Amino acid sequence: MIRKIINIDQEKCEGCGTCITECNKGAIQIVEGKATLINANVCDSLGSCIPKCPMYAISFAECDVVEFDKDKAINEMLRKMLVDTPPAFPPSAFSGMGSHCPCMDFSKSRKSSGGIEEEEFVADAVTA
């Protein structure tokens, strides 16, 4: 299938990775120090990576490639969004549950700060 996708000029590319952060589909990776289109089927042909390249190494090209895989592209977008997402509930949110939480082992410890004793809960994940 002939369709428009990005083309990365390997001679101009310095491997800075700016295009990778701009491509929310995960179609680009650094291979041997250069940006490389590794998933042509998830390249959405919108070209958000093109204006961000400081070396002007990315352009559009019409190529005979596989059809755009919308489902795979959406899954890759979600994966990239969740990689840096903190957990919804930090362990401190469960500190009042005591022994009622089967996944965490809570123990109290006392610490002294300027002559004032404070209680704090320490949570450790239970491993099987």
Q: 10-35, pLDDT tens digit by residue? A: 999 999 999 998 888 888 999 999 99
Does the reported pTM lie above 0.85?
no
Q: 73-121, pLDDT tens digit by residue? A: 777 777 766 666 665 555 555 555 555 555 555 455 555 555 555 555 5
What DSSP assignment string belongs to the chain?
-EEEEEEE-TTT-----HHHHH-TT--EEEETTEEEE--GGG--S--TTTTT-TT--EEEEEEE-PPP-HHHHHHHHHHHHHHTPPPSS-GGGGGGGGGG-TTEEEEEEEEEETTEEEEEEEEEE---
The yes-or-no verdict on residue 1 having pLDDT over 90 is no
Q: In the chain, where does the domain assigned CATH 3.30.70.20 lie?
A: 2-83
pLDDT band for position 51 (cuts 50, 70, 90): very high
pLDDT band for position 42 (cuts 50, 70, 90): confident
The yes-or-no verdict on residue 63 having pLDDT over 60 is yes
The yes-or-no verdict on residue 45 having pLDDT over 70 is yes
Burial 9-44 (b: 16+ CB within 10 A, else e): eeeebebeebbbebbbbbbbeeeeebbbbebbebbb
CATH of 2-83 among 3.40.50.300, 2.60.40.10, 3.30.750.80, 3.30.70.20: 3.30.70.20
